[in-house]
Amino acid sequence: MTGARPLATAGAFARDIKLAHSVFALPFALAAAWLVSRDVEVGWQQWLWIVVAMVGARSSAMGFNRIVDRRIDAENPRTRDREIPAGRLSLVAAWGWTLAFTALFIVAAAMLHPLCLKLSPVALAVIWGYSLTKRWTALCHVVLGIGLGLAPVAVWIALTGTVQPAALLLGGAVASWVAGFDVLYSLQDRDFDASRGLHSIPVALGERGALWVSGLLHLLTVGLLGALPWTVPLSWPYTLGWGLITAVLVYEHAIVRPGDLSRLDRAFFAANGWISVGFLVAVVAATLG
């Protein structure tokens, strides 16, 4: 990528990886940093590098996903208009931006903590590896959840060099939350995936089975978030926020039913965006005063 060409492809790459959807995991990472900052001084540079690391990691993972899935996406009616199969983004440009964001993530990890730099290949192996898992296991949703669930744990390591129980609870909550809504989202592709020999919970268990698994995963999310005040002091606004998150998850499952996926996009994007942002607000509010 040289000259004006990188700028010309930047918009296509950002659209393809849905850069704005970084909102799903970033607030949990920021909430982890906020909790740590009550005991350890966190400078503005560290806050900045956390954001850079999160955006870099997610963009790298999504870019790799679009590259390795380009032929599958071209055959799927739901995804054939994505930038690479539609011809609006070349494979060379996609690789260029993916590797650029990968480098950005590694630099951010190095700036945060030496241990983060050492562990960055492990994180990349998980978040890149997810894109390959649907070719051989229905547990691909869990791998995606683990990839995003690493975020709050990584923040704890970046700021303290250790992993505390609160970090593990947050990581587990994010992992089960993401895996749960990915099961829901993959309902759209159940027939296509089955016809191509691809694996998912909906393919393995059908719509009803997938909805049950997603519900159980989100029940685990609620339980893990509910246990967080046992590990870090959080006042009543957190309980209120936890109750609202629980209500949103209940709503999400109420509007997605077997045979009726018409409101799935609303469940996936709107509801889950509110959950992540609402969690950050609840944590901050519960530690003020």
Predicted confidence (pLDDT) per residue in 201-216, tens digit: 999 999 999 999 999 9
Work out the mean pLDDT of the chain and round it to a whole number.
92
Model confidence at 64: pLDDT above 60: yes
Start-to-end C-alpha separation, the chain: 51
- The whole-angstrom separation of Cα 123 and Cα 98 is 15
Task: Give, as one character, the DSSP assignment of residue 271.
Answer: I
Q: Helix crossing, 165-185 with 201-227: angle to 10°? A: 150
Higher pLDDT among residues 144 and 274, named by residue: 144
Q: Tell me the residue type at 227.
A: A
Q: Which residue has the tokens 């996406």?
A: 73
pTM greater than 0.85 (yes/no): yes
Q: How far is CA 84 from CA 7, 32, 132, 268, in A?
A: 16, 35, 18, 23
pLDDT at 255: 85
Fold of 14-285: Tetracycline Repressor; domain 2 (1.10.357)
pLDDT at 11: 82
- The whole-angstrom separation of Cα 249 and Cα 218 is 7
134-144 pLDDT per residue, tens: 999 999 999 99
Q: Which residue has the tokens 């001084």?
A: 41
For the residues 159-180, what does the mean pLDDT come to?
96
Phi, psi dihedral angles at 151 (to 5 degrees): -60, -55
